[in-house]
Amino acid sequence: MKILAIESSCDETSAAVVLAGKKSGVKKLSNIVSSQILIHKKTEGVVPEVAARAHISKISRVVQKALKDAKTPLESIDYFAVTNGPGLVSSLLVGTEYTKGLALALNKKVIPTNHMLGHLYSAFVSDPKIKLPSVNLIVSGGHTYLILLTKKNKFKILGSTVDDAAGEAFDKVAKMLGLAYPGGPEISKWAKKAKKKGFEDYAFPRPMLNTKNFDFSFAGLKTAVLYKIRDEKLNLKNPQTKANLACSFQEAVIDVLVKKTIRAAEKYKTKSITLSGGVAANKLLRKKLASASRKIYNKFYVPDFSLCTDNALMIANAAAIKVQGGFKPVKYTKLKVNPQLELK
Ligand SMILES: Nc1ncnc2c1ncn2[C@@H]1O[C@H](COP(=O)(O)OP(=O)(O)OP(=O)(O)O)[C@@H](O)[C@H]1O
Ligand SMILES: [Mg+2]
C-alpha cells in the first residue's frame, strides 16, 4: 500500500510518501519538510495564527513535491494519513482539512495519526527490526514520555512530565539567557563553551530523580536557573557565565533523562532503548544515553537528526504500523482534530 502523510501540527509543513507491506515493512519514497523557524524567530516563539497562515501558503507545494520525489501520481495513493493531534488547533486544521479534500476527491480512506505515535516509532524508520521489549524516551517541545513497547503495536506509558516538557524547559531557559529561538540548539551550542570549574559551581537540582515512578518535572529546574541568576546577580553579558549556566542546566536535564530511562530498562528487562523527539537532536544526550544503554546490554537507537523534529515521514511510518497492526482506515468524515489528543 502507498500512503501519503501530511504533518502540520505546529510549525513544520510536511508531506511524505511511503510504500508499506500489508503486515510489515515501510519504505520511504519521499519526505518534504518546510520549516517556519525563520518566521517565528522574529517573535521568539510560535504565534498560532501566523503558523496556520504559513501552512496554508505552503501545503499544496509541499504535497506536490512529495508526490514528485516519490514518482507517484496522486491517483495511485491508497490511503491518506494525517496528524490529527496533539498540537495547535489552527495548524492541525490546515493539514486535516487538506487531507479531507484529497480523500473526498479521490474517494480514498484516511488514517488519523497521533503526532506522538510518529515520534515514538521514528527510530524504526531506519531500523525497523528493533528488538523488543524496548523502552522509548520521547523528548519533544511539548511532551516527555517514557514508554514500554512490548510488541510493535502494543505499548504502555511508564511516565511523563508532570509540568513542563524537556524541550519547553530548554526553550524557556534559553530565553532567560537571552539566546535565540528555538532555544534547544542554542543551549547546547553555548554549553560547549563552558569551563568545568565554572559550571560545576552552579549544580542545579535533578528533579524527581529519586522518585519510584517514571515521571519527570522540569518546571522547578527552570525556576532554579531564574533564581540563581537573580539571587547571585549573575552578569549575563559575560559570555562565560552564560555558557556555564547553559551547560549546568543541560547536564541536569540529561542526567535525569538518562538515569530514569536506564532504571526503566532495568526494571522491564528490555533489549533496546530508543530516543526520539526534537530534544533527541541534542548530541550530548545521544552520547550519554548510548553509553549508558551499552552498559546494561541494551542496543541503542536514535533517528537521523532530520527525523527528530517534526516531519511527515514519521507520521507515514506510524500510520503504516497502525494498519499493519489491524487498524482499519476511516472515511474522511470521521477525521476529527483534537489538540489534546492523548497517546493510547
Ligand atoms: N540540540 C538540541 N538540544 C535540546 N533541545 C533541542 C535541540 N534541538 C531541538 N531541540 C528542541 O526540540 C523541540 C522541538 O521538538 P519537536 O519539533 O519534536 O517539538 P514539537 O513538535 O513542537 O512538540 P511535540 O512533538 O511535543 O508536539 C524544541 O523545544 C527545541 O528547542
Ligand atoms: Mg513534535
**3-state SS track over 71-103:** CCCHHHCCEEEEEEECCCHHHHHHHHHHHHHHH
Q: Are residues 85 and 10 in the same domain?
A: yes
Cell digits for 303? 533517528
pLDDT at residue 115 tops 90: yes
Q: Are residues 272 and 319 in the same domain?
A: no
Q: Are residues 298 and 152 in the same domain?
A: yes
Q: Tell me if 62 sits within 8 A of 70, measured CB to CB.
A: no
Higher per-residue pLDDT: 314 or 40: 314
List, for residues 254-269, the tens digit of each pLDDT value. 999 999 999 999 999 9
Query: What pLDDT, on the 0 to 100 scale, is given for residue 197?
Result: 78
Give yes or no for residue 112 CB within 6 A of ligand 1. Answer: no
- Asked if residue 340 belongs to a domain, the reply is no
Confidence of residue 238 (pLDDT cuts 50, 70, 90): very high
Residue carrying C-alpha cell 524567530: 41
List, for residues 279-312, the tens digit of each pLDDT value. 999 999 999 999 999 999 999 999 999 999 999 9
Q: Are residues 294 and 325 in the same domain?
A: no
- Asked if residue 343 belongs to a domain, the reply is no
pLDDT at residue 198 tops 80: no
Q: What is the mean pLDDT of the chain?
A: 96
- Asked if residue 344 belongs to a domain, the reply is no
Give yes or no for residue 20 CB within 6 A of ligand 1. Answer: no
pLDDT at residue 109 tops 90: yes
Give yes or no for residue 115 CB within 6 A of ligand 1. Answer: yes
- Asked if residue 190 belongs to a domain, the reply is yes
- Asked if residue 273 belongs to a domain, the reply is yes
Q: Are residues 48 and 142 in the same domain?
A: no
Q: Are residues 296 and 311 in the same domain?
A: no
Distance 87 CA to ligand 2 centre (A): 8
Provide the terminal-to-terminal Cα distance of the chain, rounded to the nearest Å. Answer: 25
Confidence of residue 243 (pLDDT cuts 50, 70, 90): very high
Confidence of residue 181 (pLDDT cuts 50, 70, 90): confident
- Asked if residue 10 belongs to a domain, the reply is yes
- Count of the separate structural domains present in the chain: 2
Residue 156 domain boundaries: 130-302
DSSP bridge partners of 28:
18
Closest atom of ligand 1 relative to the 143 alpha carbon: 26
List, for residues 9-21, the tens digit of each pLDDT value. 999 999 999 999 9
Q: Are residues 150 and 230 in the same domain?
A: yes
Q: What is the CATH number of the domain that holds 81?
A: 3.30.420.40
Q: Are residues 222 and 297 in the same domain?
A: yes
Q: Are residues 290 and 312 in the same domain?
A: no
Confidence of residue 224 (pLDDT cuts 50, 70, 90): very high
pTM of the model: 0.95
Q: Are residues 150 and 255 in the same domain?
A: yes
DSSP bridge partners of 83:
113
Give yes or no for residue 85 CB within 6 A of ligand 1. Answer: no
Q: Are residues 267 and 314 in the same domain?
A: no
Q: Are residues 55 and 100 in the same domain?
A: yes
Query: What pLDDT, on the 0 to 100 scale, is given for residue 42?
Result: 87
Give the span between the Cα atoms of 60 and 80, in whole angstroms.
14
Residue with the nearest Cα to atom 15 of ligand 1?
278
CB-count burial class (<10 Å; 0-12, 13-18, 19+) for 59: buried
List, for residues 157-174, the tens digit of each pLDDT value. 999 999 999 999 999 999
List, for residues 20-73, the tens digit of each pLDDT value. 999 999 999 999 999 998 998 888 889 999 999 999 999 999 999 999 999 999
Question: What is the percent of the chain where pLDDT is above 70?
Answer: 100
Nearest ligand to the CA atom of 282: 1
- Asked if residue 318 belongs to a domain, the reply is yes
Angle formed at CA 147 by CA 140 and CA 217, multiple of 5 degrees:
55
